[in-house]
Amino acid sequence: MEGEPTRIMLAVNQSTIKGYPHASISSSRAFEWTLQKIVRSNTSGFKFLFLHVQVPDEDGFDDVDSIFASPDDFKDLKQRDNARGLQLLEFFVNRCHEIGVACEAWLKKGDPTEVICHEVKRVQPDFLVVGSRGIGRFKRVFVGTVSEFCAKHAECPVITVKRTVDETPEDQVDD
Amino acid sequence: MEGEPTRIMLAVNQSTIKGYPHASISSSRAFEWTLQKIVRSNTSGFKFLFLHVQVPDEDGFDDVDSIFASPDDFKDLKQRDNARGLQLLEFFVNRCHEIGVACEAWLKKGDPTEVICHEVKRVQPDFLVVGSRGIGRFKRVFVGTVSEFCAKHAECPVITVKRTVDETPEDQVDD
């Protein structure tokens, strides 16, 4: 029953509290859950595909204290963004390396929901794991949830893994 | 990383085309997918919990040709229903036995969505697998989907597994 490993795509993002390079609570939780409950000791039976989608900072809020004096400064900015995304992915790749599970990781820019569904179509994983903040219906109207959209639209089976109660920050929207 | 096996609850139902004791296409598909993609060769790492929810035949349509002459005839009817449900579960239990995966199976009566969510709360599986007919939005309004309800309301991670295109009958509502 072995053969090709089961390819698990995991969409990961950064912490809203600690920022880059820290992974969000729900990404970390989804990853650890998958290791414990699905991969277990069968490390050669699975391969992780980590996707991090960076949302372009349309407002430029992150950069209010930066000084832009030449076109190169903007180039630096892009490079810094990429570097941050790569640091986030590095965390997951390192964990896989420690455990001995194969993996690949890549970075995309855009709207996470669209990009994740598009990447599922392109790389055809066996299933997709997404972490969820597990926020209530009222808050959901305002913040939207990537996990719900993916569960509905991604062209492969999707597992949504919620944070545990003791991991949930005071403001549920934080992650 | 081993220890207690991962407990996978699988909600199974009968075929609308062939009737009892045949499993629906989506139940069989969900089961085989889970074996291939998650259990793989790690048969000692997982335990299946098969739940079959029988919908009470409120209209009595199934029994238009039966003759009821005594209270015992109604008792026989109930026993026959139970026997049919057990035959369905037997199929899955036999498959597990062949492969060498631990399992438990049980029968409940009621509204599948409510009963499945209730049983998840009671037995606390690590995750729930539900098959889905993958029917379009228009038809869904009329037939409702158990998988969508469970994905939203069950208190554990849920994987929804759709039938493959070549398994889908001419009328998508059939299963």
pLDDT band at A142 (very low <50, low <70, confident <90, very high): low
Total number of domains constituting chain B: 1
Tokens linked to B168: 């889908």
Q: Is residue B31 part of a domain?
A: yes
Q: Is residue B173 part of a domain?
A: no
Picking from A42, A36, A53, A31, the residue whose alpha carbon sits closest to that of residue A6 is A42
Q: What residue type is A71 in one-letter code?
A: P
First to last CA, chain B: 38
Laid out side by side, the sheet with B158-162 consists of A102-109, A46-54, A6-12, A127-132, A158-162, B158-162, B127-132, B6-12, B46-54, B102-109
Mean pLDDT value of segment A74-102: 89
Q: Is residue B61 part of a domain?
A: no
- B105: which strand partners? B50
The three state secondary structure string of chain B is CCCCCEEEEEEECECCCCCCCCECHHHHHHHHHHHHHHHCCCHHHEEEEEEEEECCCCCCHHHCCCCCCCHHHHHHHHHHHHHHHHHHHHHHHHHHHHHCCEEEEEEEECCHHHHHHHHHHHHCCCEEEEEECCCCHHHHHHHCCHHHHHHHHCCCCEEEEECCHHHCCCCCCCC
* B117 vs B137: which has the higher pLDDT: B117
For residue B157, give the nearest of A1, A41, A160 by CB distance: A160
Answer yes or no: do B40 and A6 touch at CB < 8 A: yes
DSSP code of residue A14? B
CB contact under 8 A, A2 and B41: yes
Please identify which residue in the block is written with the tokens 């220890």: B3
Tell me if A66 is assigned to some domain: no
Higher pLDDT, A63 or A106: A106
More confident residue, A70 or B62: A70
Any B CB within 8 A of A6 CB? yes
Above 80 in pLDDT, residue A64? no
In a domain, B22, yes or no: yes
Site of tokens 């991962």: B6
CB contact under 8 A, A41 and B161: no
> What domain range is B16 assigned to?
6-56+73-142+158-167
Cα-atom radius of gyration of chain B, to the nearest Å? 17
Encoding tokens for residue B100?
A: 């060498």
Beta-carbon separation of B162 and A157 below 8 A: yes
**Interface TM-score (ipTM) > 0.90:** no
CA angle B105, B110, B113 (to 5 degrees): 80
Tell me the residues of chain A between 59 and 98 that have a Cβ less than 8 Å away from chain B. Answer: none
- Within-domain flag for B152: no
Other beta carbons within 10 angstroms of residue A28's beta carbon come to 20
Q: Is the model's pLDDT at A140 over the cut of 60? A: no
Q: Which residues of B touch A10 (CB under 8 A)?
A: none
The β-bridge partners of B48 are B8, B103
pLDDT tier, B42 (very low <50, low <70, confident <90, very high otherwise): very high
Q: What confidence tier does B74 reach under pLDDT thresholds 50, 70, 90? A: confident
What percent of chain B has pLDDT above 70?
88
- Write the residue in B35, B37, B42 that is nearest to A40 by C-beta: B42
- CA dist., res. B20 & res. B84, Å (int): 6
Two tokens, residue A107 = 């970075």
Pairwise CA distance, residues A168 & A149, whole Å: 21
Residues of B whose CB is below 8 A from A98: none
pLDDT surpasses 80 at A54? yes
Mean pLDDT estimate for chain A: 86
Residue B1 covered by a domain: no
> Is B82 domain-assigned?
yes
B37/A127 Cβ within 8 A = yes
Chain B residue at shortest CA distance from A37: B6
Q: Which candidate from B2, B36, B157 shows the least CB-CB separation from A41?
A: B2
Check if the beta carbon of residue A26 is closer than 8 Å to that of residue A34. no
